[in-house]
Amino acid sequence: MDNIAVVILAAGKGTRMKSDLAKVLHQVAGKSMLTHVIESALAVTRDHIHVVVGHQAEKVKTMVLKNHQVSFTLQKTLLGTGDAVRTVLPELSGSIRHILVLCGDVPLIKQQTLLDLVNSHLTAQADLTVLAVNVKDPTGYGRIIQSHEGSLLAIREEADATVAEKKINLVNSGIFCFEKKFIESGIELITNDNKQDEYYLTDLVQIAVEQQAKTCIEVTNDVEQVMGVNTLEQLNCINKAFQDVPDELP
Beta-carbon contacts of 83 under 8 Å, excluding residues fewer than 6 positions away, are 75, 77, 198, 199
Residue 16 falls in the annotated catalytic set: yes
Selecting among 16, 86, 143, 156, the annotated active-site residue is: 16
17 closest CA partner among 105, 113, 127, 149: 105
Instruction: Give the C-alpha separation, 46 to 24, whole Å.
Output: 20
Which of helix, strand or coil describes residue 137? coil
- Number of CB atoms found within 10 A of residue 181's CB: 11
Max Cα–Cα distance, the chain, nearest Å? 49
Question: How many Å apart are CA 246 and CA 145, to the nearest integer?
Answer: 34
Q: Between β-strands 4-10 and 49-53, what pairing exists: parallel, antiparallel or unpaired?
A: parallel
Catalytic residues: 16
